[in-house]
Amino acid sequence: MNPLIVIMIIGLAVLIDCFWLDVNKNRWGWMKNWNRLSKGMFFSAFIIVSVLLYFAISAVYF
């Protein structure tokens, strides 16, 4: 699968879960006192780590 599509799917899934599906703040409530910069850095780091794991899993080792 194209890496750009993977990045978009992961990013959209996390953002939709955080801002639309989690209406009662059970899963993301621990971040409610964070400012926008901290939330943006967290989501950016989450996406970067997810992409790195995707590349590591899909790499040919031998």
Q: SS3 for the chain, per residue?
A: CCHHHHHHHHHHHHHHHHHHHCCCCCCCHHHCCCCHHHHHHHHHHHHHHHHHHHHHHHCCCC
Distance CA 18, CA 49 (A): 18
- The 10s digit of each residue's pLDDT in 3-61 is 778 778 877 887 777 777 666 767 777 777 888 899 889 888 888 888 788 888 877 77
The pair of structure tokens assigned to 56 is 């590591």
pLDDT of the residue at 37: 92
Those residues whose C-beta lies under 8 Å from the C-beta of residue 22, and which sit 6 or more positions away, are 28
pLDDT for residue 62: 63
Domain positions in the chain are 3-58
